[in-house]
Amino acid sequence: MTQGRLTDAAPEETGRAQEYQRVLEAALGIPFSAGNRVKVLRNGIEIFPAMLSAIRQAQHSVELLTFIYWKGRIAHEFADALAERARAGVRVRVILDAVGALAMPKTLVETMRDAGVDILWFRPPVRWKVWHIDNRTHRKVLICDGRIAFTGGVGIAEEWEGDARNPSEWRDTHFQIEGPAVYGLQAAFVDNWIEGDRPIRNDFTYIEALEPVGKSRVQVMKTSAAVNWSSIATLFHVLLTTARRKVRITTAYFVPSPATVRLLQETARRGVDVQVMLPGPYHDHRVAQLAQQTEYAPMMAAGVRIWAYQPTMLHAKIATVDDTVACVGSANFNHRSMSKDDEIALLVLDDEIVAELDRHFEEDRVHCEELAPAAYRRPGLLRRMQRSAVNLFKQQM
């Protein structure tokens, strides 16, 4: 693949980006593609209009893959937009995780199916295939006409509407991608579509070569359930061991394995400024939040700073390292993302994108409270009993 020019950045920054590219390609076995345009979309106020606009302008195809499709005005808007494109002759295919999208109103499914939308329920629970219940597709991907794609942390539900102004409007980030990296996102959709025993045949004959449209280098990694360790875990390991100056992690569900805890501690002890932002008082999975608290004290003792976001549920999944590389997508820092679920992750080498994400971290930090080590060193008896009970189920979180 043509490598092209990284950016017009200073030689030191360019050299650092090239070093990260070599390390990540060697560790993950996936090449970066040059010439992509990446746009950061913050909260539903920016995310949903961009996604709906791409759907409504599609002329050939729309592919939507999502773990969450729930209720609310936005759920109806997406169903109506997808149905309208199908009636107009556009091939519209939708993959819904059979567990994550269980709360979706049947009327929306009927609206889409009546219009000609091809809907696949991913791994519907079957009594004798209990292992299917445990392994889900957590990916969130939208591709329109094979040329513009979206991925990140956002589900199709009213919880993501608005601009994180109050507890009913969740804080999240999504990404719009154009250029050769769209192929990788398309592959994530096809991966789950074929597993559902759906043919593809000549479905992509209309797709033209994706020419360079921007300056971002992007590595697309799709991962599936693993026994103990997936490529997502390898990715996080490489980013932390390679970091030299700073790491910024934003994650909705932070239930790291013992190995990941040790790695975070070692990274901070090397003098790297490691900061982690998590949900605070508003959390949609209190059990997972309780499970993660056992790791706070040892990490903070090693120098990791942990921030709790106060205004609403924080659902974004972002990591940036050394002002050079960003990791974005559907994966959290938890057991499920690292071993149990199908995920999608993008590694982006673009100093402007990384700077924008780091700026968002600083802006969000204004609305956070920093956790104090003393509060987690000696929890009371009740809290210790709760944590002991929750720890029995950590592998499911």
| Domain residue spans of the chain | 11-396
- The Cα–Cα gap between 62 and 73 comes to 21
Is 322 within 8 Å of 243 (Cβ atoms)?
yes
CA distance 67 to 342: 10
Res. 170: pLDDT tops 60:
yes
Q: Range with the lowest mean pLDDT among 18-32, 81-95, 227-241, 352-366?
A: 227-241
Segment 203-211 shows an average pLDDT of 74
**Dihedral (C-alpha) 111, 51, 55, 68: value to the nearest 10 degrees?**
-30
11-396: CATH superfamily:
Endonuclease Chain A (3.30.870.10)
Q: Look at residue 127 in the predicted model and tell me its pLDDT.
A: 56
With beta carbons less than 8 A apart as the criterion, state whether 182 and 161 touch. Answer: no
- Tell me the mean pLDDT in the region 350-369: 98
What predicted TM-score, i.e. pTM, was given to this entire model?
Answer: 0.89
Query: Whose CA is closest to 71, among 44, 106, 41?
Result: 106
pLDDT band at 299 (very low <50, low <70, confident <90, very high): very high
What pLDDT does residue 388 have?
52
Residue 21 backbone phi and psi in degrees, to 5: -60, -45
Please report how many Cα atoms fall inside a 13 Å half-sphere around the Cα of residue 140, on the Cβ side. 27
pLDDT classification of 256: cutoffs 50, 70, 90: confident
